[in-house]
């Protein structure tokens, strides 16, 4: 069936480095994608979104890239900080599907 999934369950980076979190999707009809950050004991928090008519979108320290050809999107976090430690989910909003998440750990 259709699914949204993440390549790696965990990612550990050094403070100040850039982080890249990947996500694959299989529903070719998906046209809106969102990245969420979830800290322990809290609900998911919106980070950035992208619509399928775009390849790239930038926010503050975050960039999302969308490759529709291979059905892949990524979240890039520049100058990763300890406060970025959390689980990151990609989601597509047509079927309201979330991936399993990637746990990002930032080492000081």
Partner 1 sequence: EAGVVQSPRYKIIEKKQPVAFWCNPISGHNTLYWYRQNLGQGPELLIRYENEEAVDDSQLPKDRFSAERLKGVDSTLKIQPAELGDSAVYLCASSSGGAQETQYFGPGTRLLVL
The one among 30, 77, 99, 106 contacting partner 1 by CB under 8 A: 99
CB–CB of 33/93 below 8 Å? yes
Q: Which is nearer to partner 1, 53 or 108 (CB)?
A: 53
For residue 63, how many C-alpha atoms fall within 13 Å in the half-sphere facing its CB? 9
Residues 8-37: x where in contact with partner 1 by CB under 8 A, - otherwise, as a string: ------------------------x-x-x-
| Closest by Cα among 43, 26, 46, 19 to 103 | 19
Residues 45-64 close enough to bind partner 1 by CB under 8 A: 45-46, 49
Among the listed residues 41, 53, 60, 108, the single contact to partner 1 using CB under 8 A = 41
The residue written with tokens 């008519």 in the block is 53
Q: Smallest distance from the beta carbon of 16 to partner 1, in angstroms?
A: 28
Which H or E element spans position 5?
strand 4-6
Angle of CA points 72, 49, 102, to nearest 5°: 55
Binding window for partner 1 (CB under 8 A); candidates: 12-20, 59-67, 72-80, 90-98: 90-98
Q: Is 98 in the site for partner 1 (CB under 8 A)?
A: yes
């Amino acid at each position: 069936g259709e699914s949204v999934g993440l390549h790696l369950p965990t990612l550990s980076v050094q403070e100040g480095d850039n982080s890249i979190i990947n996500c694959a999707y299989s529903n070719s009809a998906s046209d809106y994608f969102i990245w969420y950050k979830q800290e322990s004991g809290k609900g998911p928090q919106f980070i950035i979104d992208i619509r399928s008519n775009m390849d790239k979108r930038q926010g503050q320290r975050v960039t999302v890239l969308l490759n529709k050809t291979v059905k892949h999107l990524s979240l890039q976090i520049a100058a990763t900080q300890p406060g970025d430690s959390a689980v990151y989910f990609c989601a597509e909003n047509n079927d309201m599907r979330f991936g399993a998440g990637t746990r990002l750990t930032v080492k000081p």
